A = this chain, B = another copy of it.
Amino acid sequence: MNATNSRTRREERRAEIVRAALEVIAERGYRGASLAAVAERVGLTQQGLLHYFPTKDALLVAVLEERDQWDAVPDSRWRVDLLASLVEYNAMRPGIIQTFSALLGESVTEGHPARGYFTERYVRVRANMAGVLRTEYGDRLPNGLTPERAAPLLVAVMDGLQYQWLLDPESVDMPGAFRDFLALLGEEA
**Chain A residues with a Cβ under 8 A of chain B:** 26-29, 31-32, 98, 101-110, 115, 118-119, 122-123, 126, 143, 145, 149-150, 152-153, 155-161, 163-164, 166-168, 171-172, 176-177, 180-181, 183-185, 187-189
Bound form: Cα–Cα A158–B153 in Å: 9
Given A150-B180, A152-B172, does the pair A27, B109 have CB atoms closer than 8 Å?
yes
Given A105-B101, A108-B163, A157-B153, does the pair A180, B26 have CB atoms closer than 8 Å?
no
Bound form: Cα–Cα A188–B160 in Å: 24
Given A31-B32, A101-B108, A108-B98, does the pair A153, B177 have CB atoms closer than 8 Å?
yes
Cβ-defined contact, A29 with B106, below 8 A:
yes
Given A122-B167, A156-B157, A159-B163, does the pair A180, B149 have CB atoms closer than 8 Å?
yes
Q: Tell me the nearest residue of chain B to A25, going by C-beta.
A: B109
Q: Tell me the nearest residue of chain B to A125, going by C-beta.
A: B164
* A109 interface neighbour in B32, B122, B152, B159, Cβ under 8 Å: B32
Cβ-defined contact, B168 with A123, below 8 A:
yes
* A137 to B: closest C-beta gap in Å: 14
Cβ-defined contact, B109 with A26, below 8 A:
yes
Cβ-defined contact, B108 with A106, below 8 A:
no
Cβ-defined contact, A28 with B110, below 8 A:
yes
Cβ-defined contact, B102 with A108, below 8 A:
yes
